[in-house]
Amino acid sequence: MNFEHIPVLLREAVDGLNIKEDGIYVDGTLGGAGHSIEIVKRLTGGKLIGIDQDLNAITKAKEVLKDDLDNVILVHDNYVNIENILSDLHIEKVDGILLDIGVSSHQLDEEERGFSYHKDAPLDMRMDKTKDFTAWDVVNKYSERELERIIWDYGEERWAKRIAEFIVDERKVKPIDTTLQLVDVIKAAIPKKVRMEGHHPGKKTFQAIRIEVNGELDVLKASIPKMCRLLNKGGRIAIITFHSLEDRIVKETFKELNKDCICPPEIPICVCDKEKEIEIITRKPIVPTKIEIERNPRSRSSKLRIAERV
Ligand SMILES: C[S@@+](CC[C@H](N)C(=O)[O-])C[C@H]1O[C@@H](n2cnc3c(N)ncnc32)[C@H](O)[C@@H]1O
């Protein structure tokens, strides 16, 4: 098993947290602990809480952080449960929270997880293997319309309609059980000339199905306000996304939390009681340098946004 994962926007994200050496920090997407280890290096007397819904990531992180385990608490859970996670640890507020959304290289490398369109495996794609809902359910049970919607929205795949049609036709013959079976169906749906250009033809559809299986957008949307409210004054949240829909969620949610009045303009006096909860530190998202993209092509679509609790 190869767990090599190059952390994306590492310096930018960790610097952006403005780490206080005795502060409490949360890495909600621990993965290979690439960001966490940098945070821990900057702590003296502080604590890092590392959360991942993938038990394999927790095991790996334990190894990577082995010299600092006294300052680290690792939790196998979904970051959407952050309120309960912190209250179980008797922690009321923290000084910084990092999210680095998406799939890790180690998850792609683990053949049997079904994340990769290069390796044949059962259609799975669960980040949390204790859950029941898998890619098989999406591919074999969703209606043609639902398939088209997720492939179009989450994959930004312009051939979504044909791919959904071809999946449903194939299902009438036999269930689509494996990743490479699905790749064959996708290839048949996309005209050969288009297939020969650019990325692997399965890339966008696989991304869409993974986002659906793990409820990634809903979880992100629900988590940002809770996370901001768990920050001490001056505490920061830094979020790295890889997909335009994810980035839009972060941008819009930050904007909402930044408003101190949401009354309609025709009302002369504010009656809404809304208070500004955060200051937005990055008006425009931070993106990787050319050098980073060359060194780590996975970073190409990444965007980092940072906000500070007021
Ligand atoms: C891109 S990787 C993080 C890599 C890490 N920052 C590093 O540099 O090593 C994303 C990780 O977050 C985890 N993850 C994604 N969504 C999650 C969620 N809602 N709750 C907890 N963990 C999640 C995945 O299982 C994966 O291990």
pLDDT digits (tens, 9 = 90+) for 243-273: 999 999 999 999 999 998 888 888 888 888 8
Best of 17, 25, 29 for a ligand 1 pocket test (most atoms within 8 Å of beta carbon): 29
At 195 the pLDDT is 81
The residues with which 76 forms a beta bridge, in sequence order, are 52
Categorize the per-residue pLDDT at 3 as very low, low, confident or very high, splitting at 50, 70 and 90. very low
Cβ–ligand 1 contact at 202 (below 6 Å) = no
Start-to-end C-alpha separation, the chain: 44
**Phi/psi of residue 120, nearest 5 degrees:** -80, 130
DSSP assignments along 241-300, one per residue: ESSHHHHHHHHHHHHHHH-S----TT-SS--S-----EEES-SS-B---HHHHHH-GGGT
Best of 127, 218, 240, 292 for a ligand 1 pocket test (most atoms within 8 Å of beta carbon): 127
Residue nearest to atom 18 of ligand 1 (CA): 78
Provide the percentage of residues in the chain whose pLDDT is more than 90. 86
Task: Find the mean pLDDT for residues 120-130.
Answer: 95
How do strand 24-27 and strand 278-280 relate by DSSP bridges?
unpaired
Global pTM?
Answer: 0.94
Residue corresponding to tokens 């335009």: 244
Cβ–ligand 1 contact at 217 (below 6 Å) = no
Cβ–ligand 1 contact at 50 (below 6 Å) = no
| For the CA of 219, the nearest atom of ligand 1 | 19
- The Å distance, Cα 197 to ligand 1 centre, comes to 30
Residue 78's nearest CA partner among 99, 94, 64, 95 is 99
At 106 the pLDDT is 87
- The Å distance, Cα 233 to ligand 1 centre, comes to 26
37 CB contacts (<8 Å, ≥6 apart)?
64, 65, 68
293 CB contacts (<8 Å, ≥6 apart)?
299, 300
| For the CA of 127, the nearest atom of ligand 1 | 25
Q: In this structure, which amino acid lies at residue 35?
A: H
Task: Find the mean pLDDT for residues 206-214.
Answer: 97
At 4 the pLDDT is 67
pLDDT, tens only, 154-183: 999 999 999 999 999 999 999 999 999 999
Query: Cβ atoms within 10 A of the Cβ of 182, count?
Result: 24
| For the CA of 27, the nearest atom of ligand 1 | 6
Query: Cβ atoms within 10 A of the Cβ of 233, count?
Result: 9
